[in-house]
Amino acid sequence: MSTTDVSELSHSNTEGKHLGLALAVISGAQLMIVLDATVVNVAIPTIHHALNFSPTNLEWLITAYSLTFGGLLLFGGRTGDLYGKRRMFMIGIAIFAVSSLVGGLATNDLWLIITRGLQGIGGAIAAPTALSLIATNFAEGRERNRAMGVYAAMSGGGGAVGLLLGGILTSYVSWRWIFFVNVPIAAVVLLLTPRALNESKSTSGHLDVPGALTVTAGMLALVYGLSNASSHSWGSTSTLISLVSAVVLLTAFGFIERRSKEPLMPLSIFKNRNRSGSFAMMLCIGIALFSMFYFLTQYLQNVLGWSPIRTGVGFLPMTAGIIVAAGLASRYVGKIGIRVPLLVGPAAATIGMLWITRITVTSSYLDILGPLVVIALGMGFSFVPLTLAAVSGVESNEAGLASALLNTMQQVGGALGLAVLATVAIDAANAKFQSLHQTTILARNVATTHGYTTAFLLAAGISFLGFLISLIVIRVPTRAPEAANVATTAVSH
């Protein structure tokens, strides 16, 4: 989301050409982008075998998308401010569609990983401009509130749709169709956008291209170095070069942002204690959430032998739990404040992650359902109060930046955490397999499950860190954020 979104939401009176069609176009695009964040999860085991992915490279199916999407989210929103939101929205959708088509045709792992990164770039341009287009096409009041509600429903329901659609397509058609399905949706969106949406006014300014390049390249180098350690070693030349490059690039990013007249990420945004604490907590939540989806999906299919569609259905209680808990939090946070849910949320997530470490090769779905529901409630209770803490007290021209950074922290945190936890899981599984002194399928499954539970245990520790940050760092705001800020930022999750 761009830094001017909130001011537009408050002051824009521009009405769209055809409001119903405009809402369909924007919400359809948002559904496609959100859907793609989960649709791949269910298909990971199938893609693993189809393209002969190594265990180390497999995580890049998630991290390549998350890093480019999260790392370029601020940059994408800024392009809409400078060059027109409708124009950049269409460019983002076009990049997303072409990369989806090329990804569906992939014949090797590197091909698919690169196209996942390109999908992230398209999504980073389209997602923030899609939300901004609501401001420029719907009059303030009932029309805009209705549009925001539909947009939020697409954002919240996209995860569930992605899990189901991924399972259905992978089971009954082909894993390639989880990418191909984006093409006709994007084609319809691109065809209708000029007819349905007004263009926004462009603003003067400059893009912080050096900042965007250094931060994204630095994060990619960091994740590659962390992942490479599992297949080589922490002292290998390739690992060290990647990690050193990451330090250099991220340090350069800090200097660029400090000296830039129009920085991509003004460092002053971190001066507020609550805001910095909420960013750190979202980083922890991203790690726990991404790792849970990634490892549990593989456990259900590779160890318990579930089909992709059964896996997708099995995750639905978690998606429903997040939506219900977030709705309850948004309903009662005005009465009880953010303190209680910001403590209950991370605590519940920690308990759920600890609970799920008890899975074995003979566990049933009932052994998994309990932890899933508890984790979902913890995540759901955390999202709304974290958003409120992040935007409380900010100037109107920085509320968009604060909420976009919160989303970025979730995506980047998930990618970084997955790189670390995947390395831990692989090392733990290999050590367990060697200690068993057997080469049977059962022994391999026992070792693999041990790797997953070790990763869950570390994720529980990171969730507990989020709880400690809430307990020690976050202080209840002296005033509640304005309704416009809340409405704008809540839908980004």
Helix (H, G, I), strand (E, B) or coil at 204: coil
Identify the helix (H) or strand (E) that includes residue 149. Answer: helix 142-172
Residues 6+ apart with CB under 8 A from 174: none
Res 443 pLDDT > 70: yes
The predicted model gives 52-59 an average pLDDT of 85
Question: Does position 141 have pLDDT exceeding 80, yes or no?
Answer: no
Q: What is the mean pLDDT of residues 338-344?
A: 89
Residue with tokens 């209708």: 192
- Counting beta carbons within 10 angstroms of the beta carbon of residue 361, is it exposed (0 to 12), middle (13 to 18) or buried (19 or more)? middle
Average pLDDT (286-314) is: 92
Task: State which CATH number among 3.40.190.290, 1.20.1250.20, 3.20.20.390, 3.40.50.300 fits the domain covering 269-493.
Answer: 1.20.1250.20
Residue 135 has pLDDT above 90, yes or no: no
Distance CA(426)–CA(454), nearest Å, equals 10
Task: Please give the angle made by the CA atoms of 173, 127 and 27, to the nearest 5 degrees.
Answer: 65
Give yes or no for a contact between 10 and 396, defined as CB atoms under 8 angstroms apart: yes
Q: Higher model confidence: residue 28 or residue 187?
A: 187
- Averaged pLDDT for residues 307-313: 92
- As a whole-number percent, the residues of the chain with pLDDT over 90 amount to 40
Under a CB-based contact definition with an 8 Å cutoff, are residues 422 and 227 in contact?
A: yes
Q: Is the pLDDT of residue 367 over 90?
A: yes
Do domains 1-204 and 269-493 share one topology? The answer is yes
- Cα–Cα distance, 46 to 102 (Å, whole number): 18
- Dist. CA 394–CA 266, nearest whole Å: 13
Number of H helices, E strands in the chain: 20, 0
Using the predicted structure, report yes or no on whether residue 257 has a pLDDT greater than 70: yes
Residue 407 pLDDT level (bands cut at 50, 70, 90):
confident
Contact 299, 359 (CB under 8 A): yes
Please check whether residue 387 is in contact with residue 255, taking contact to mean a CB–CB distance below 8 angstroms: no
Residue 456 to residue 355: CA distance in whole angstroms: 9
At 172, the pLDDT band (50, 70, 90 cuts) reads: very high
Handedness of CA 479, 272, 337, 487 (dihedral sign): positive
CA–CA separation, 431 and 213 (whole Å)? 38
pLDDT higher than 90, residue 142: no
b/e string for 195-205 if b means 16 or more Cβ within 10 A?
ebbbebeeeee
- Greater model confidence, 211 or 147: 211
Tokens 């931060």 appear where? 215
Q: Which residue has the tokens 């809430």?
A: 470
Domain ranges of the chain: 1-204, 209-261, 269-493
**More confident position, 487 or 93:** 93
Determine the Cα–Cα distance for residues 121 and 124; give it in Å rounded to an integer.
Answer: 5
Q: Where are the beta strands (DSSP E) in 217-314?
A: none
Tally of CA atoms within 13 A in the half-sphere of 456 that contains its CB: 28
Please, what's the b/e burial string for 386-398 (b: 16 or more CB within 10 A of its CB; e: otherwise)? bbbbbbbbbebeb
What does the radius of gyration of the chain's CA atoms come to, in whole angstroms? 22
Q: Which CATH code, of 1.10.510.10, 1.10.287.180, 1.20.1250.20, 3.30.420.40, is assigned to 1-204?
A: 1.20.1250.20
Nearest to 119 by CA among 330, 411, 396, 465: 411
In whole angstroms, how far apart are CA 318 and each of 74, 157, 414?
29, 12, 17
Which residue reads 């060697």 in tokens? 434
pLDDT in tens, 272-288: 888 899 999 999 998 99
